[in-house]
Amino acid sequence: MHAEIVVLPGDGIGPEVTAAAVDVLTAVARNFGHCFNFQHHLIGGAAIDACGAPLPEETLHACQHADAVLLGAVGGPKWSDPNARVRPEQGLLALRQALGLYANLRPVAPHPAALGAAPIKPHLLAGVDLLVVRELTGGIYFGDKQRSPDHASDLCSYSVVEVERIVRRACQLARARRGKLTSVDKANVLETSRLWREVATRVAREEFPDVQIEHQLVDAMAMHLLARPREYDVIVTENMFGDILTDEASMLAGSLGLLPSASLGDGRRGLYEPIHGSAPDIAGRGMANPYASILSAALLLRHSLELVDEADCIERAVSEALHAGAFTADLASTTAPLSTRAATRAVLAHLCEERQPIVMRD
């Protein structure tokens, strides 16, 4: 297969972790006989520095014509002046909207070897395997913003169509998993949440009678996610609640550096990025965990290129690297932590071990 992949390293640790993912994708292409063409473009703070805009026209155009986009992260203290005219995050929000990427999939399945890094009791974590489906192009992040010297407001709005399509996507995903959907809202207070709950109930009942749906208020969900995470299968929620709950869920896995994400629309083109940010506190020190970015590359293969065996192969290689104790500093406790490059090499070594059976099968 030939595929055009746009790489947007972005800011902070973004370039370090996307380089790792590109190395792994290159190895997969070699092992399986594919041709992936990588085009690097600017986004976020790096783009503001280079040309004054967080999403240059050239970057947007390249993304609109690619098979998939691999992103690092955007933002950092250099561009965080609240009075700044342009901000790095605007580039990412505009890109998600321009590509129509309304569904953000964030799988969370703690790895047995990394349980020690999680601040949660290990017996609560065994067998946890959940998927958060976050609405990505609506809600308060995209609503009208007002500011006067003594007042500020952010509008949160959702249309029926926006809720229907994300709940439908979540139901389809639940159907292919354990058939359980938890819809999270704040229906006791917010009108948008009352609409959300009404639409979610109808879509599940009319179109997915085989999917079992339950509703949770977001504040209770924040507690249940830590107290009984094993009970959840697919969790669907609006933009801001999903953003916050998945950072919380990362603590089930042990580190933000382990969680990948896929942002999808109605077609096959998607944007793949770790759920973490640009981590300015560790940027440039070669110590970032590359696994979330590498696992995002696996999601890219599965969802945009439909290369399921190749995606499985990457996920197995990361899993084996973790089993073998290939821990970066965010996961390591007593052992000496690996650098970003060394952790990437550990994954590449396990990918290479898989090469022989593939060649023989051909």
- For ligand NAD, which residue of 237, 289, 296, 319 counts as binding (CB under 6 A)? 289
Contact between 271 and ligand NAD per CB under 6 A: no
Amino acid at 328: T
- For ligand NAD, which residue of 3, 173, 279, 347 counts as binding (CB under 6 A)? 279
Q: Between 187 and 294, whose beta carbon lies closer to ligand NAD? A: 294
> Cβ of residue 282: shortest distance to ligand NAD, in angstroms?
4
Contact between 254 and ligand NAD per CB under 6 A: no
219 is catalytic: yes
Which residues are bridge partners to 208 per DSSP? none
Q: What are the residues whose beta carbons fall under 8 Å from the beta carbon of 353, sequence distance 6 or more?
A: none
* DSSP assignments along 185-222, one per residue: E-TTT-HHHHHHHHHHHHHHHHH-TTSEEEEEEHHHHH
In whole angstroms, give the CA distance from residue 238 to residue 143: 13
Stretch that binds ligand NAD, among 51-59, 136-144, 281-289, 316-324 (CB under 6 A): 281-289
User: Are 187 and 219 spatial neighbours (Cβ–Cβ below 8 Å)?
Assistant: no
Q: Between 254 and 265, whose beta carbon lies closer to ligand NAD? A: 254
Stretch that binds ligand NAD, among 29-37, 233-241, 272-280, 312-320 (CB under 6 A): 272-280
Q: What are the residues whose beta carbons fall under 8 Å from the beta carbon of 85, sequence distance 6 or more?
A: none
Of the residues 23, 158, 185, 186, only one is catalytic, namely 186
State which of positions 2-61 bind ligand NAD (CB under 6 A): 13, 17
Q: Between 193 and 263, whose beta carbon lies closer to ligand NAD? A: 263
Strand arrangement of the beta sheet that strand 103-108 belongs to: 35-40, 2-10, 68-73, 270-274, 260-264, 103-108, 130-135, 234-237, 180-185, 212-217
Q: Between 28 and 73, whose beta carbon lies closer to ligand NAD? A: 73
Stretch that binds ligand NAD, among 58-66, 121-129, 223-231, 273-281 (CB under 6 A): 273-281
- For ligand NAD, which residue of 96, 276, 303, 350 counts as binding (CB under 6 A)? 276
Contact between 330 and ligand NAD per CB under 6 A: yes
291 is catalytic: no
Phi, psi for residue 138 in degrees, rounded to 5: -135, -165
- For residue 74, give the nearest of 14, 6, 141, 7 by alpha carbon: 14
Of the residues 219, 266, 281, 309, only one is catalytic, namely 219
Token pair in block for residue 52: 């004054």
325: left (phi over 0), alpha (psi -120 to 50) or beta: left
Please state, as a whole number, how many other Cβ atoms lie within 10 Å of the Cβ of residue 275: 24
Stretch that binds ligand NAD, among 48-56, 142-150, 223-231, 277-285 (CB under 6 A): 277-285
- Interaction site with ligand NAD (CB under 6 A): 13, 17, 73-76, 89, 92, 256-257, 273, 276-282, 288-289, 292, 330
